[in-house]
Structure 1
Amino acid sequence: MRSKVAHGVLRAVDCTAARDVPGVVGAWSAADLPDLPPVPYTLLAGLSTEEAVAGREWSALVKDRVRYPGEALAVVLGEDRYRAEDGVAEVTATIDPLPAVVTPSAALKDSVRLFDGMSNVVLRGEAGEPVDPAVWEGAAAVVEATYRQQLLMPSPMECRTVLAVPDGDRLTVWSGHQMPHRLRRELAALLGWSADRIRVVVPDTGGAFGSKSAAFPEFVAVAHLAVKLGRPVRWIEDRLESMLVATRGRGQDQRVRLAADADGRLLAYELSIDADVGAYPHLGAGLPMQTAWMAAGAYTTPHVHATLRSVLTNTMVTYPYRGAGRPEAAIAIERTMDLLARRLGMDPVELRRRNFIPPDAFPYETPVGRVYDSGNYAAALDLALETLDHDRWRAEQARRRTDPDALPLGIGISCYVERSGGEAGGLHEFGSLQVTEDGRITARCGAAPSGQGHETVFPALVAKFLGVPEAQVRLIEGDTDEQPEGLGSFASRSAQVDGALFQHLANLLIEEARTRAAGLWELPVDQVAWTDGSVHTAHNGSALMDLGELVKHTGPLRIEDRFETGQAFPFGAHAAVTEVDPDLGLVNILQLVTVDDCGVILNPAVVRGQAYGSALQGIGQALYEGMQFDDDGVPHVASGFLDYLLPTFTEVPPIEAKDTHTPSPNSPLGAKGAGESGCIGTPAAIANAVADALPAVDPELLQMPLTPDRILRALRASTHEEDVR
């Protein structure tokens, strides 16, 4: 039973009538469950801090104050969902509404405080050093702008799920989750159990995009009640529920300043971020630091300074969403590069080329502290322009500008750098390879599947490393009983980290097989070789034995280990051509080109699928998606995806996905993450193309999503200014 208001004081919750509904097993408010644990906070990869959380408890059921619309007031258990829904309809609650703040700018005033006596600013951060005022004063050109990165919903195909089944002194939990070992650890802490009493299983999952890697309030309630009642308890989120209370992504107000000399050489860049982190700082207060750390982009700007304020608002929590801070950084710098090019009267392509970090400068430490591993940014941009046929479109643009009946056409580019693999302390993974007497190999790792193609990529890698047929290898992941330790799947880490782990394990297995064979044949190890899944004598190959036979003679063979890689920095260049209907405000993407570099590509089909999928989500941010709120802070989601628009098949433009290949020296495979490229590179390319099509319009009025209403408002504002002049 969820709150219908965004902010208010909870006076009473009455579950009495719900308990009388046939088929209802029980109904509880927070007062009925005094031992219900609160939602845990996470320090993983700097997502939050103890200081941010202190004094700001997030109760699984509201105790005294509602802080976001849809926050759970009571939980009703039924024999099936229908009876539980009937029970919810009988729960009554009394809430005294309070004013709601749903943007950082409103929350920063602290006139409405989410926690009494405490500021809405829960974290301040900084990357780089403040820029000397003399740099700005001596610059030939300085541009300033503000951008709003709207709140987005990750919108996976499958919403959140959890099923908890008690069995004796153990609890088995099934969930569509990105980090099963983290979920096991957090549930164990909540229940006061040792971790070995909990098993978490992640079956095939229909998408995640970052939104399924925490222990949410509903998970806490489900696990607690399953143990309390000694029976299975299940919660499956429906779509409207997900749109109301699942995590959000993005949500930043940004102020930028960029300076250059007369030749277009960048001198300094400032980025100020006011980040909407939702009603509780438990999951993502530190997440916007990813934007600050990637502020420099692909350029050799000598001075870069980024500052951050993480601000509480009366919305569901902001959390990692595909790209997680890097799209916000790329959009800010890439839109501003176009503003600077316009100010200097310079081609946006030339401005970028003039300031790229050159290939021979890697590893390259940026002024905000990132150390880029490798890159060839100019090559990616050149391929994007060639694929787009940039000169032809520029000629068409010039023609249209002389034709009063032609729709305005614009060309936009966006060059990005992102971080993949995770942060220091989280760049490792655990796994094992086990061989049975029939020669079959079972590969295990701490990853979790949500549609990335692990079942295709990982067995193929193991087979390649060992020289055996792919059909001989089976993958097991997402099960904490099968793999006792693990981190999970997030931050575009699967190929880069887990792939390298399997290479490492394969090498260990080969060495163990050679050692066993040497003992069996009474030979020195250096006289035993490995070829295509078999050991043999090194000189004449007179003795030959495959893995299955070796296990039969020497006993069970299992290799397990922990392996760590370094950070990697994928990059790319995206280009878009758009036309804008000035009468209807409609934006039509005529062509979209994505060129991404994820180092060594392990499976071209999977990488291509990731490029298309993330590009579609980038189109969604640029043109369609964004949370809208009533004056009282309640989001417009009553009609589902009629209120929150996603690009469908009919909105998919022609997309050409290309790639360049710059291996990472920080991972043995040379692979970098490939899963987030389109979300990072595509939005700014489209926004820049729309601004290029409407040169008389103030670019700051062209805030995403570029809906017809916003386009028309921007056009009317520019017409009014022209009339005044």
Structure 2
Amino acid sequence: MAEPGTPDGSVTRVEDGPLVSGRGCFVADLRVPGCTEAAFVRSDTAHGRLRAVDLAASRQVPGVLGAWWAGDLEEIPLVPVLMEPDVDGGRPWPALAVDRVRYSGEAVAVVVAEDRYLAEDGRDAARVTLDPLPAVLDPQVAARDEVLLYPGRSNVARETNLGDPIDPGVWERAAVVVEATYRYPLLCHTSMEARAILVRPDTGGGITVWCSHQAPHRLRGDLADALGLAADKVRVVVPDVGGAFGGKSETWPEYLAVALAALRLDRPVRWVEDRKEALTAGPRGRGQSQWVRLASDAGGHLLALEMRTDAAVGGYPHTGSFLPEVTGRMAAGTYAIPQVCVRARAVVTTTPPLCPYRGAGRPEAAYAVECTVDLMARRLGMDPAQLRRLNFVRPEAFPFDTPTGFRYDSGDYAAALDLALRTAGYADWRSEQAGRRAHGGIPLGLGICTYVERSGAGGEYGAVEAHMDGSFTATSGCCSTGQGHATTFAQVVANELGVDRRRVRLIEADTAVVPDGVGSFASRSMQSGGEALLRAARDLVGEARVRAAARTGVHVDTASFERGAVRANGSTFTLAELAADGPLRAEARAEPPQAFPFGAYVAVVEVDPELGTVHVVRLVAVDDYGTVVNPLVVRGQTYGSIAQGLGQALYEADVHDEEGVPRAVSLLDYLLPTLSEMPEVAMDETCTPNPNTLLGAKGAGEAGCIGTPPAVVNAVADALRIDPTALAMPLTPRVCWEAGR
């Protein structure tokens, strides 16, 4: 996908200038006449019966325009389910709590005022009456149904069984069987810009919505359904977005409450989530408890894997119930294990609702599988790299059907591992480790993770139009939340048309302009959206050839296209000239199946035996994303994902007290890695093009969250000469110190 002067396609993002100079426009920056601000009264109890919300004092605060709780409203919109429409049966999620609260921070009332400060004064004047009920935080405990969040309904909202049951004889005949339990902690979504929405009532009964979101067309449909409006009466515009990572794909209850307030007041209403709200009431990621059993013969050939995983999906299963199934489907990892059997359960708990978080189910699977493979290597006395290489799915076996129902499209897992080991200097570090163990020194450990993930979901819309001034418009149903679409999508179109990419303008993220779209999540933008634009560009060339042939009176097959112009019967016509005959535009929709990127990560760590501190000396990431349009952009996404993966491994956890109240109220309490904590990172790639698309791209950007945690944890376990099951993320100094005693 390279252009002249850029051998590998690495060009600087056109988006960066406005963003880094403060000229970006986010929801909080919008200046809409008459705009008011909302604040939410939230439960400070994790589980309880809601008796009443007294808003009399709130309404008396100067500047407050309105305040409502469920008792003031005849009908309350319900939050739609993200993926599984049947999972909410008997478990409605109202925009404002009706009779019970199911997590600390749940919205029970909304207050609207002339500015945010007055709205918060009104919020603070509210009085909430609750009868507390027991909190239940652990999904395995909640699954016992001793404390029901929904009377008459099991706390197990969804159970999925994957793969055939494994014959007990397999375990009996195996030379080695290992068992392990893991707990992947809940994580807070901490994008730079938290959730934000502004709703303006329009003449004619419609609304215009500006929202920090990943899927504007989905949001439009959800709001229309919840509010009883026709879809064409709802316009959704996504301005600049300060990160999303899955937590902005949903239609949250606050969005419905803000829309309802705007319609009642007939004035624009904005809500911008602050950091305390994001940490105490915002969506969560990860949060699984896992049990894994793995069998091997004496030579290290893996025979069977069994997994049971329970996910804490929070007080409402609407946005995260499908995530444990994703984990289960990825349970085979990169290995040709003959038998894999998984039971995956989504369990409601008195914690904020779970939703996709960068990697969305795949990091949880990689962690359980890769730590258990290291455990097996330890039991067999094999080098963990050797055990992996012995069991990889071979390149000639693709497409490969896993026992859990996925079809891996392509790959060379051994090539990625070999490159990662060479880049890391694996053999030299093993020698250094042996020397330290023999003669003394800070404990040194090496950890490996090989992963495969799935990317892309559903089809996508794209259109390309040539204009008479020589410019081009690319229209996409995707929605950039920081990925650099204005740069990379323009590269796809420009490369196909043979024109300067700076002549290509991208339009997306506005339902009034883009007729159809799915959005950006699950690493689908280039795989699906880029593919749609490529196909539209090719169709535009086809139409241009038809026009040139018609102008010159020859058959279309004799018209050729090269570098932005069509040659027919000795004449040459630019696309701009052909656009003079009428709109020169083509639409396409790409429907590629899911793809399966893969890679290998190697971590080298030192662990202070007295303090328990972990120093990541070196981290190597080798990823295979198929065809990469802009390596510079992809490397940036990988680096950011590695940072989040490092946070998962060493720093982050959503901790609740015994009553279910989150302890972190600011980023002084919830630790994130900064640039100072980032180790030396070496990134490299292999390339196995996607065989199911013209572009050849697979998803990119989530791999670091998948590969980094198991590699780091395995390295720490190796340094301390313990099983990885003796460690629990995050690997705080206390965790490591106690594990190494």
Give deviations 1:612-636, integer Å, cap 9, x for gaps. 1111111111111111111111011
Cα distance change on mapping 1:531 and 1:699 into 2, 3 Å: closer
> In structure 1, the residue corresponding to 2:429 is in which secondary structure?
helix
Equivalence for 2:571? 543
CA distance in 2, matches of 1:274, 1:191: 34
Give deviations 1:693-719, integer Å, cap 9, x for gaps. 111x45322011111121122234xxx
Q: Is the 8 A contact 1:567 1:666 kept in 2?
A: no
Counterparts of 1:413-452 in structure 2, within 5 Å, are 413-422=448-457, 426=458, 428-452=459-483
Counterparts of 1:249-398 in structure 2, within 5 Å, are 249-398=285-434
Partner letter of residue 601 of structure 2?
H
CA distance in 2, matches of 1:331, 1:274: 14
Equivalence for 1:627? 654
Equivalence for 1:154? 189
1:705 to 2:730 alignment: yes
Aligned-residue offset at 1:26: 0.6
Report which stretch shifted further, 207-216 or 563-572.
Answer: 563-572
CA distance in 2, matches of 1:167, 1:310: 40
Equivalence for 2:29? none
Q: Is the 8 A contact 2:374 2:724 kept in 1?
A: no
1:196 to 2:235 alignment: no
Give deviations 1:391-431, integer Å, cap 9, x for gaps. 11111111111234x21110000000000112xxx1x1012
Q: Is the 8 A contact 2:319 2:355 kept in 1?
A: yes
> In structure 1, the residue corresponding to 2:42 is in which secondary structure?
coil
Equivalence for 1:94? 129
Q: Is the 8 A contact 1:203 1:449 kept in 2?
A: no
CA distance in 2, matches of 1:435, 1:411: 54
> In structure 2, the residue corresponding to 1:682 is in which secondary structure?
helix
TM-score (norm. length: structure 2): 0.93
Aligned-residue offset at 1:545: 1.5
Aligned-residue offset at 1:643: 1.2
CA distance in 2, matches of 1:5, 1:342: 45
Cα distance change on mapping 1:582 and 1:550 into 2, 3 Å: same
Aligned length: 700
Q: Is the 8 A contact 1:49 1:286 kept in 2?
A: no
Give deviations 1:143-178, integer Å, cap 9, x for gaps. 000000110112111100101111112211001100
Equivalence for 2:669? 643
Give deviations 1:87-126, integer Å, cap 9, x for gaps. 1111111111111011112212222111112111111101
CA distance in 1, matches of 2:723, 2:563: 64
Partner letter of residue 432 of structure 2?
E
CA distance in 1, matches of 2:442, 2:313: 40
Aligned-residue offset at 1:522: 2.1
Q: Is the 8 A contact 1:497 1:565 kept in 2?
A: yes
Instruction: Could you tell me which runs of 5 or more consecutive residues in structure 1 were left unpaired when the two chains were aligned.
Output: 717-725
CA distance in 2, matches of 1:694, 1:556: 68
Give deviations 1:456-502, integer Å, cap 9, x for gaps. 10011101100111121100110111111100001101111111111
CA distance in 2, matches of 1:103, 1:642: 25
Counterparts of 1:441-520 in structure 2, within 5 Å, are 441-520=472-551
Aligned-residue offset at 1:504: 0.4
CA distance in 2, matches of 1:438, 1:508: 20
Percent identical residues: 56
Q: Is the 8 A contact 2:375 2:723 kept in 1?
A: no
CA distance in 2, matches of 1:390, 1:563: 42
The runs of at least 4 aligned residues of structure 1 exceeding 4 Å deviation read none
CA distance in 1, matches of 2:438, 2:149: 55
CA distance in 2, matches of 1:569, 1:180: 26
CA distance in 2, matches of 1:261, 1:688: 22
Counterparts of 1:11-30 in structure 2, within 5 Å, are 11-30=51-70
1:688 to 2:714 alignment: yes
Equivalence for 2:179? 144
Equivalence for 2:254? 218
Equivalence for 1:719? none
> In structure 2, the residue corresponding to 1:481 is in which secondary structure?
coil
CA distance in 2, matches of 1:42, 1:618: 25
Partner letter of residue 610 of structure 1?
Q
Give deviations 1:314-368, integer Å, cap 9, x for gaps. 0111111111111111111100011101111111111111111111111111111
Aligned-residue offset at 1:551: 1.6
The equivalent position to 1:81 in structure 2, one of 108, 116, 130, is 116
CA distance in 2, matches of 1:378, 1:74: 55
CA distance in 2, matches of 1:431, 1:166: 30
Counterparts of 1:29-44 in structure 2, within 5 Å, are 29-43=69-83
CA distance in 2, matches of 1:432, 1:230: 36
CA distance in 1, matches of 2:334, 2:583: 50
Q: Is the 8 A contact 1:663 1:671 kept in 2?
A: yes
Equivalence for 1:665? 691
1:8 to 2:48 alignment: yes
> In structure 1, the residue corresponding to 2:353 is in which secondary structure?
coil
> In structure 2, the residue corresponding to 1:530 is in which secondary structure?
strand
Aligned-residue offset at 1:59: 1.1
